[in-house]
Amino acid sequence: MLSKASEKVFLIGAGPGDPELLTIKAVKALQKCDVLLVDDLVHPAILRYAKPGARIIHVGKRGGCKSTPQKFIERMMVRFAQTGAIVGRVKGGDPFVFGRGGEEMLALRAAGIDAEIISGITAGCAVPAMLQIPVTHRDHSRGVTFITGHTRTGKPINYHALVQSDTTIVIYMGMTNLSEISAGLIAANMSSNTPAAAIRNGTLADQTAVISTIGKLPEDARLAGVSSPAIIVIGGVVGLANAVHSGFLGPEAESPLQAAAA
Ligand code: SAH
């Protein structure tokens, strides 16, 4: 076994989908790894940067397979690193934004293994940008709040705090609960006409999107077939979207786009 000093795990962010949104640092890390543990939202084309002969293990939950339990992934990372292998844990977007990268970093730290974090472009910024929606714009929003629509504890979302924050709201993993989220925001005094969009498979060739209002988004997304994995973005900045890039417009005539163009 090699000395402890050589034990190394890279937590690599692979970006939101389009392989060209990978960073140069991510490519260099991929080229060094002997073992890659790859999540399912990672585009397969990025594996072309893997070292020839590298062992590639898919640990994702989509595609009909059951997801690999988190603790098992953490144990695998530690075990492979302890054999002296350079390990890469490859995740969609940024490893520290809803990617469990924090948990994995702590597991590695507890095992005395050095983790190097390679930031990636998170879906919450890059996916709205595909529709030309800036998540902040000083005329429309004083900030952006990233939340998950789905929590491990099931703790309810504090809709009042969200509405009062007066920021753009970007929701990851929110499609299953979209109706409740829409109702919760409106009950917390958000106008039902607030512009809102949902974008599935953003940055990829099969991207689909719907631009609507928070009141109508659940129905419009259903009609447009915009389901998980999708980013939901809510706030005045959605009024800046460029329809040419959306692939689909909500069926309502008075969409925020037309209002913005008027
Ligand atoms: N670490 C990732 C997020 C992981 S959580 C990041 O920083 O982007 C997975 C969720 O991210 C999905 O359920 C979806 O809500 C969102 N997501 C990731 N890639 C996406 C894409 N290309 N298009 C739309 N949503 C995406």
Supply the pLDDT for residue 60: 77
Q: Both 109 and 148 in a single domain?
A: no
Atom number, ligand 1, closest to the C-alpha of residue 124:
8
* Active site (annotated) includes residue 40: no
CATH number for the domain that contains residue 81: 3.40.1010.10
Residue 159 and residue 219 in one domain = yes
C-alpha 1 to ligand 1 mean position (Å) = 37
**Residue 250's pLDDT band (cuts 50, 70, 90):** very low
**Domain span at 36:** 4-118
Looking at the structure, tell me whether residues 80 and 102 fall in a common domain: yes
Q: Which of 39, 130, 216, 220 is catalytic?
A: 39
Mind listing the pLDDT tens digit for each residue in 37-93?
999 989 999 999 999 999 999 997 654 456 678 899 999 999 999 999 999 999 999
Judge if 196 and 93 occupy the same domain.
no
pLDDT digits (tens, 9 = 90+) for 194-215: 999 999 999 999 999 999 999 9
Q: Tell whether 80 and 179 lie within a shared domain.
A: no
Q: Mutate which of 98, 103, 104, 146 to test ligand 1's pocket (most atoms within 8 Å of Cβ)?
A: 98
pLDDT at 258: 40
Q: Report residue 253's pLDDT band, with 50, 70 and 90 as the boundaries.
A: very low
What's the full length of the chain, in residues? 262
Q: Is 61 a catalytic residue?
A: yes
Query: 17 and 85, same structural domain?
Result: yes
Beta carbons of 126 and 15 less than 8 angstroms apart: yes
SS (H, E, C) the chain: CCCHHHCEEEEEECECCCHHHCCHHHHHHHHHCCEEEECCCCCHHHHHHCCCCCEEEECCCCCCCCCCCHHHHHHHHHHHHHCCCEEEEEECECCCCCCCHHHHHHHHHHCCCEEEEECCCCHHHHHHHHCCCCCCECCCECCEEEEECCCCCCCCCCHHHHHHHCCEEEEECCCCCHHHHHHHHHHCCCCCCCEEEEEECCCCCCCEEEEEECCCHHHHHHHHCCCCCEEEEECHHHHHCCHHHCCCCCCCCCCHHHHHHC
Residues 96 and 176 in one domain: no
Q: Report the CATH number that the domain containing residue 196 is assigned in CATH.
A: 3.30.950.10
Q: Which of 74, 92, 118 is the last residue of a domain?
A: 118
Average pLDDT over residues 23-28: 98
Q: Which of 76, 101, 118 is the last residue of a domain?
A: 118
CB 82 less than 6 A from any atom of ligand 1? no
Q: Are residues 111 and 232 in the same domain?
A: no
Cα(10) to centroid(ligand 1), Å: 20
41 CB near ligand 1 (under 6 Å): yes
Residues 149 and 223 in one domain: yes
The count of domains in the chain is 2
Residue 248 pLDDT more than 90?
no
pLDDT at 182 (0 to 100): 97
Which residue did the predictor score with more confidence, 41 or 28?
Answer: 28
Question: Are 35 and 86 in the same domain?
Answer: yes
- pLDDT at residue 7, as a whole number: 85
Provide the pLDDT for residue 106: 96
- Classify each residue of 46-81 as buried b or exposed e, where b means 16 or more C-beta atoms within 10 Å of its C-beta: bbebbeeebeeebbbeeeeeeebeeeebbebbbebb
Q: Is 155 a catalytic residue?
A: no
Query: Do 54 and 127 belong together in one domain?
Result: no
Among 118, 143, 165, the domain boundary falls at 118
pLDDT at residue 95 is higher than 70:
yes
**Whether 112 and 177 share a structural domain:** no
Which residue of the set 4, 28, 61, 71 is catalytic?
61
